[in-house]
Amino acid sequence: MAATGHASIKSHDGVSTLAGRWPLLGQRRPLVVYLCAIVGLDLIAMVVLGASTTLRWRDLLMFCALMGCGAVCIEATRRLGMPAGVARDLLSAWWLPVALLLPPVYALFSPIVLQILLQVRVKATVLYRRVFSSAAIGLAGCAASLAFHHVVDDPWALSQGDGGSIFYAVAAAALFSLLNISLIAIAAHTADPETPWREVLWNKESLLLDIVELCLGVTVSIGCGVNLVLLLLALPPVVLLQRSLLHAQLQAAARTDAKTGLLNAAAWQREADTEIVRARRTGDTLALLIIDIDHFKRVNDAHGHLMGDQVLVGVAATLRSQLRDYDVVGRFGGEEFVVLLPGADIHEARRVAERLRTRIGRMAIPADDALIRVTISVGVALMSVHGDDLIELLAAADLALYRAKELGRDRVCVPVVQPPPR
């Protein structure tokens, strides 16, 4: 689940409310009900399956060995930290063998162990998020374990290379991944119903990571069945893969704005400079937009900074949905956004700017018993007409934006004075 900034919620008399001390109670009611239902279902499954499971030393030894490997992975990557928002790891390489080889009750407990370690050793986050993550992973692993044990009488047949057992293991691993991502996606969509399903479900990168986790989990399961000592051979490559994955995520996080997910100012400037050099070399047209949310301070004053952040997120999502994949869009700071439109002339740039202005004007952010609506002002500049480099284009677009605000806001403007031809 995506992490959100923490802020104290206060009542009108300035006294912290219960929601301020318990962040879960400050969430949307449907989300609170859903999270509690998942956690409750997880607890019920623990009690029911725990009462019907016979503890065996062999099972306990394998469980401890797999959790130990997960702990080593966490400790080996701890110094890298964890990016904000949704972070991916390869801990399923240890959760899946628990689900496939051990009784289903172990699958319910395995994520609790590693989530506690993540909370204590890597990054302390809002507690209910950790609890829900543990419950979602546990239920997905339990369902996969029940399905696998239902069709495979002896799970240790995996170690003998039985083709049928391996096929069912892959199917169970796929079921685990499907259920886990579905439970989390439902929570994300319940938290923000305006978020399109395609943004909370799979994309190409997450699908590839799920396939990698599936392969690792099944491979580790086969190795465990042969001999627990083989975990010592599986551990180094998994640690290396997890470090590489976290490093890539941290690099991506360094380029993006934490609140909106758009490029930050420095990353946007680097990509914009590259596009301008390319356009200058090829002779293509290129336009730049500076977008400012009108009267944004009033939103913060009237509804608080948390709702102001939601407005920023909504504007960013609208920008992404209305622009092409190769347009360069970023947050310039505060309530300002910048967009570079490769290949656009002045007419297309104005058309795109007007479309953005219209779509954002129709956007509504729910706040208590009201809907927050905002408008934007846009300044447009064209390369080789209003400037030849990024600094000149930004200055020209900023002047146009200032004019739009002087004329009453909620409009698109281009620079009035054209620089003389060189």
CB-CB neighbours of 52 under 10 Å: 10
State how far Cα 215 lies from the chain centre: 23
**CA separation for the pair 324, 348 (Å, rounded):** 13
Q: Name the token pair of 202.
A: 């799979």
DSSP state string for 149-210: HHH-S-GGGGGGT-HHHHHHHHHHHHHHHHHHHHHHHHHHHHH-TTS-HHHHS--HHHHHHH
- Number of H-type helices and E-type strands within the chain: 15, 7
Residue 194 designated active-site: no
Q: Which has the closest alpha carbon to 60: 189, 201, 228?
A: 228
Q: Long-range contacts: 5-10, Cβ < 8 Å, 24+?
A: 5/259, 5/306, 5/309, 6/126, 7/304, 7/305, 7/306
Q: Which has the closest alpha carbon to 73: 30, 117, 29?
A: 117
Q: Which has the closest alpha carbon to 180: 200, 205, 150?
A: 200
Q: Name the token pair of 262.
A: 């758009």
**CA separation for the pair 271, 383 (Å, rounded):** 16
Is the four-CA dihedral 221, 225, 228, 229 of positive or negative sign?
Answer: negative
Could you tell me whether strands 376-382 and 286-293 are parallel, antiparallel, or unpaired per DSSP bridges? Answer: antiparallel
Cα of first residue to Cα of last residue in the chain, in angstroms, is 54
Cα atoms in the 13 Å half-sphere on the side-chain side of 55: 6
User: Dihedrals φ, ψ of 371, to 5°?
Assistant: -120, 130
Q: Which of 205, 335, 336, 392 does the annotation list as catalytic? A: 335
Laid out side by side, the sheet with 286-293 consists of 328-333, 336-342, 286-293, 376-382, 412-413
DSSP 421: P
Q: Name the token pair of 242.
A: 């997890």
Strand partners, 330: 263, 338
Q: Catalytic residue numbers?
A: 335
